Structures are given as structure tokens and as C-alpha cells.
Amino acid sequence: MDRTVPPGAAILLDFIRETEVGQADRASYDVIYGHNQDKLPQPLTTMTYGEVVDAQKGWSKRFKSSAAGGYQFMRHTLIDLANAMPSIKGTDRFTPDLQDRLGYKLLVRRGYPEFIVGKIDIVEFGKRLAQEWASFPVLADTKGNEHEVRRGQSYYAGDGLNKALVKPEKVEALLREVLEVARRPHEVEEGPQAAPPAVPVPKPKPKLVRKSGRFWTWLLTAGGTIVTALKELNLVALDWRVQIAILAVIVGFAIYAISSMPAVRDALGLK
């Protein structure tokens, strides 16, 4: 079944093919009226849309009907659908998927959307299906194509060609199933979502010692403290060279003490 066909409609189309041609498998799409497909030069599904329409010209006389494919499209129906659907080209292959899309188009024309939302009931929709597919019975007594028909008869009963091939009770049960499936919310299945890849957190670049405000603050504080101590001890009278030497030693110890602290080493980027 073509993927563009909704679930409920897909069930109905499978049932239509089985009723119209007696089977719902892949081979059902190659059937022509009277099961005369073996008399064709090539399988129906290998022909183009235009070739099928052209070939149907002689089928009514040769086989008594131009009905072709899984949904038994009449020649005038295919011509009408091609005019209504610009996407269809005469060179398109008459594939099963194309036939499914055409079949769904016919369902829409016959009121499938209105049936699903409750604007028409089973009896009315059943009558519309019987008007499109002669093998379907009407679900209540009504005026047929030529005269009054009873429940269970084909809409075209009396034409000497068509008759209902399925019981009305079976159609009613099928339509109730279609209604249930079509109204059921269909959630889109999503595959398990992969966890997003871990984004590596860049390590902060260690500050250079010369750019560390804390280092210079501590160093200047230590220097100021040393100078103050020298003044208090009256050591400032020493030779300036001696003062510088003492200051260098004290500052060196201060730097060593500061830089040996683990937290400070990490902050200053020291190993």
C-alpha cells in the first residue's frame, strides 16, 4: 500500500481489491475485467498510464468491460482522474502505488473524509461506494442506476453485467473498523534519542606570574613591611648596599613562602 494513504483508507482499499478481483496481493494490481490479463502482451503494472488508457479502447468490445487494475478502473475514470490530478503523466508507470493513490482519490470523491468526521453515515457512504464499485452492495433499499434495488444488491443490478459480490453485513463491519482506525490518534514513532555528545569544558588558562595582581599586592606589602621594620630598628643608617642585600634576602624568602602555597601555585600557573 502506498505510504501516502491513511491507515483507515488503506484497510478499505485492500477490501475493495479483494472484493473486485478476488485477491488483495501484489498480483491483484495486474488484473483486468474477467481475469483476462493473461491475454495482454505485458503485465498491466509494467505499462504506462497512457498505454493503459489507449489499450482500454478495445477492451469493452473484446472483454465486455474496460475495467483495469486492483480497483477495476474504467477508461473514462482514468481519463477523469488524470485531468483532476496534474501530477499524473501519461508516461507514469501504472504501478501498485500509483493505483493506490488513484483508489484513495476515488474514496475522497465518494465522501471518505465526510464519513470519518460523521457528516454522512454508514448507509450513505456504503451507497456511494456501491456507485463507484459495482461489486459492493447498497446497505438499504434505494433507487439504483436503473431501478429500485434492495439492500444487498448492486447499485447497478439489472444491467446484465454487474452484481454484488459481498454481503452487506460484511461491508458494515468493515466500515466500522475503518471508522475506528481512522479516528484513532496515530503517534509518530520516534527512535531513541542519542545523548548529546559531551562538550569538553576548556580549562582556564593559568595567569602568568607577571600578570597576577595578587602576587604584586603581596610582594609590595612585604616590601613595605620590610622597609618599615628597618626604620624601626634604626637599620636605615646602614650602607645602602647592605640595605639592598638584606631587602633582597627578605623578599626572596617572601616570594618562596608565597609561591609554595598550593592554592597560590595553581592561581599563578606554577608547577
Could you report the per-residue pLDDT of 95-139, keeping only the tens digit for each? Answer: 999 999 999 999 999 999 999 999 999 999 999 999 999 999 999
Q: What is the pTM of this model?
A: 0.66
Go through 114-148 and write b for each residue having 16 or more CB atoms within 10 A of its CB, e for each that does not.
ebbeeebebebbbbbbbebbbbbbbbeebebeeee
- For residue 154, give the 3-state DSSP assignment: strand
Could you report the per-residue pLDDT of 196-244, keeping only the tens digit for each? Answer: 556 566 665 655 545 555 554 555 555 555 555 555 555 555 566 766 7
Go through 200-229 and write b for each residue having 16 or more CB atoms within 10 A of its CB, e for each that does not.
eeeeeeeeeeeebeebeebeeebeeebeee
What was the pLDDT predicted at 190?
45
Mean pLDDT over 14-19 rounds to 96
What was the pLDDT predicted at 261?
60
* Residue 212 dihedral angles phi and psi, to the nearest 5°: -85, 115
Contact 83, 112 (CB under 8 A): no
Q: How do the domains of the chain map onto residue ranges?
A: 7-183, 209-268
Q: Give the model's confidence band at 266: pLDDT under 50 very low, under 70 low, under 90 confident, else very high.
A: low
Q: Give the model's confidence band at 159: pLDDT under 50 very low, under 70 low, under 90 confident, else very high.
A: confident
The better pLDDT of the pair 30, 252 is held by 30
